[in-house]
């Protein structure tokens, strides 16, 4: 190993050591903090923030009369689906025409359907369409959609085929996780006394803040690269590789955080983690081999999965999700693991993944976006302090993720201009961030004001990806005109 590589590894090691020690010190310091005695505007879990009182006139129409028939619950669900799909398609199309990520438009549509806009402009209609009792069905349907989506994400991961880029991907991705995670935990020291839910453990709150700051949306990043024609470029290939490795690491960390937050004691947590580790080993070795043989036997000559193979896939996904949910982790981890052990045969994946993505992207994920929007009440940030705290979260999240990813890429051999574009891509959060935030909300760790701030942070960082990439191209062009030479774009 040459001296230059040794120095780079030493810098990586120092960064990691500082972050790990800083996280431990912040968690220790936070033990002496106490959350506020009460929290204004906190709704019950799984329910939207109550809308304002209805006014006279059109709002006073007794809409509930329409739902007095025996199928009223089904009528309401169908109405919710129709409204959500119409809104997400319309806003997503507007964002596409503006050259912005469609997923940001769909998430924005979900927020507009919530108490932040619809509940404010039309309280009676909001309560009629999204009544509190009906949201349980919508929540379950949206969770099914996210589980199917996570299965597809697991199938798309190619962490085992990194080849010569493995070292670069591991070092850069872990640097891009540890630094923002450290900043998130430190931010919790300032946020916990004023914004945490009463009775929330500081460690759980701080760990979720760390996850929120450090996650990257691998599927959204891939789609942005495809829309901009960057998927095959050196920077795009490096971003996809590092995002895949970082995604796997982030979900493993999130599983540990969820286990800690849900456990009733250290012993229970250790038992659950031990059982989870055993389950992962069983899935990765014997079950993976069984699935490869079973699906191969059920496939027709063309290699596309037949009805028997699809039944095996559905049963395996449901069973894996059931096990992880029973272990106190989350059903989404089981669905992700089931996708990760699927055969890597090209015909099988080419047939299954596009169908799953079209089904979830067209129908089920918009329901999840809308449900997240129903929980996001921007009106809770109605004073200067709340707005400044939200802005600070966006700045810290962007600086931590973009800056650490850029520094890691530069240490790995990229030019500064390419490293900046790489950092902008890794700063994309989008859907994966919403999934993590909703898990924290369901557990009662992230209260409504913090949840709203973090959702706005996810939207802002994803929205900034395009403009930051344009800025990176201008920086690269200016270097090229100046005759600046750089290191290889995709190091090994």
315 found inside a domain: yes
Structural domain boundaries, residue 176: 139-481
319 found inside a domain: yes
What gap in Å lies between CA 292 and CA 168, rounded to an integer?
Answer: 30
CATH number where 156 lies: 1.20.1530.20
Instruction: For tokens 């990691």, name the residue.
Output: 16
User: What is the total count of domains within the chain?
Assistant: 1
230 found inside a domain: yes
Dihedral (CA of 224, 212, 459, 426) sign: negative
What gap in Å lies between CA 194 and CA 34, rounded to an integer?
Answer: 9
Question: pLDDT by residue for the chain (492 residues), tens digit each?
Answer: 567 778 888 888 999 999 999 999 999 998 888 877 665 444 444 444 444 444 444 444 454 444 444 445 788 888 888 999 999 889 988 988 887 777 788 888 888 888 888 888 888 888 888 877 778 888 888 888 888 888 887 887 665 555 556 777 888 888 999 999 999 999 999 999 988 888 888 988 999 999 999 988 777 787 778 777 777 788 888 888 888 788 778 878 888 888 777 766 667 777 777 888 888 899 888 988 888 887 765 555 555 666 777 888 888 889 998 988 887 777 888 888 888 888 877 777 777 878 887 787 778 888 888 888 888 888 778 788 888 999 999 999 999 999 999 999 988 888 888 899 999 999 988 777 888 888 889 888 889 899 999 999 988 998 888 888 888 888 777 766 655 444 444 444
378 found inside a domain: yes
Q: DSSP for 321-342?
A: HHHHHHTTS-HHHHHHHHHHTS
Q: How far is CA 358 from CA 57, 152, 365, 401, in A?
A: 42, 11, 10, 30
114 found inside a domain: no
75 found inside a domain: no
What gap in Å lies between CA 61 and CA 160, rounded to an integer?
Answer: 59
54 found inside a domain: no
What gap in Å lies between CA 204 and CA 356, rounded to an integer?
Answer: 33
206 found inside a domain: yes
Is the overall model pTM greater than 0.75, yes or no? yes
Q: How far is CA 460 from CA 40, 48, 152, 455, 464, in A?
A: 25, 22, 25, 9, 6
* Cβ(254)–Cβ(184) below 8 Å: no
């Amino acid at each position: 190993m040459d001296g230059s590589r040794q120095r780079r590894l030493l810098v990586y090691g120092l960064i990691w050591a500082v972050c790990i020690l800083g996280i431990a010190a912040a968690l220790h310091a936070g033990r002496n903090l106490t959350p506020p005695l009460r929290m204004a505007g906190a709704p019950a879990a799984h329910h939207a923030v109550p809308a304002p009182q209805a006014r006279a006139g059109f709002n006073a129409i007794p809409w509930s009369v329409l739902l007095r028939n025996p199928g009223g619950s089904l009528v309401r669900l169908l109405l919710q689906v129709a409204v959500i799909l119409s809104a997400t398609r319309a806003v997503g199309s507007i964002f596409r025409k503006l050259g912005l990520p469609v997923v940001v438009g769909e998430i924005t549509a979900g927020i507009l359907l919530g108490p932040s806009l619809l509940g404010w402009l039309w309280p009676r209609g909001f309560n009629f369409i999204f009544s509190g009792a009906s949201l349980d069905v919508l929540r379950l349907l949206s969770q099914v959609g996210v589980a199917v989506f996570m299965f597809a994400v697991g199938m798309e991961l190619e962490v085992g085929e990194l080849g010569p880029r493995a070292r670069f991907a591991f070092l850069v991705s872990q640097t891009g996780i540890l630094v923002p995670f450290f900043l998130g935990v430190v931010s919790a020291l300032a946020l916990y006394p004023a914004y945490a839910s009463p009775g929330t453990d500081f460690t759980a709150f701080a760990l979720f803040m760390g996850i929120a700051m450090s996650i990257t949306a691998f599927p959204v990043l891939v789609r942005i690269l495809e829309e901009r024609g960057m998927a095959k470029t050196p920077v795009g290939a490096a971003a996809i590789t590092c995002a895949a490795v970082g995604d796997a690491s982030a979900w493993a960390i999130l599983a540990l955080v969820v286990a800690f937050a849900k456990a009733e004691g250290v012993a229970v947590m250790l038992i659950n983690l031990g059982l989870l580790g055993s389950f992962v080993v069983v899935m990765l070795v014997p079950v993976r081999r069984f699935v490869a043989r079973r699906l191969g036997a059920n496939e027709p000559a063309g290699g596309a999965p037949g009805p028997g193979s699809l039944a095996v896939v559905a049963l395996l996904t449901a069973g894996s999700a059931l096990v992880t949910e029973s272990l106190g982790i989350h059903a989404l981890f089981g669905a992700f693991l089931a996708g990760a052990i699927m055969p890597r045969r090209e015909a099988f994946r080419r047939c299954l993944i596009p169908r799953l993505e079209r089904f979830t992207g067209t129908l089920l994920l918009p329901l999840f976006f809308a449900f997240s929007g129903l929980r996001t009440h921007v009106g809770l940030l109605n004073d200067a302090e709340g707005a400044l705290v939200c802005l600070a979260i966006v700045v810290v999240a962007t600086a931590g993720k973009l800056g650490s990813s850029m520094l890691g890429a530069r240490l790995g051999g990229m030019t500064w201009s390419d490293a900046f574009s790489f950092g902008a891509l890794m700063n994309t959060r989008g859907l994966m961030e919403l999934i993590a935030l909703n898990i924290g909300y369901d557990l009662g760790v992230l209260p409504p004001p913090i949840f709203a701030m973090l959702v706005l942070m996810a939207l802002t960082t994803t929205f900034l990806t395009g403009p930051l990439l344009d800025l990176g191209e201008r920086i690269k062009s200016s270097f090229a005109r100046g005759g600046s030479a750089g290191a290889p774009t995709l190091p090994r």
